[in-house]
Amino acid sequence: NTLVYDRSRRMTVAETATYLQCSESWVRSLISMGKLKAVRIGARKGLQISLASVKEYLRQQEEKEGSLSLYGG
């Protein structure tokens, strides 16, 4: 099996920060904490974050916000 690089399914740190409306340093922190999955692709492309990982992170955040409002929000 060959891993096919599909650019439409990955984002740079800057693109992810724009998508999440946060700073690039926060994106790097999320990667360090294991909340976002990223791979390093060469020196020029740097870290690439999986779009599926970003969507899963957002889903988990929505669940947390939903559970907070159930218990006193």
Whether the predicted model's global pTM rises above the 0.85 cut: no
pLDDT in tens, 24-37: 999 999 999 999 99
- The burial of 4, by beta-carbon neighbours within 10 Å (0-12 exposed, 13-18 middle, 19 or more buried), is given as exposed
Question: Could you tell me how many residues make up the chain?
Answer: 73
CB 58 within 8 A of CB 43: no
pLDDT in tens, 38-73: 998 887 778 999 999 999 999 999 888 776 655 554
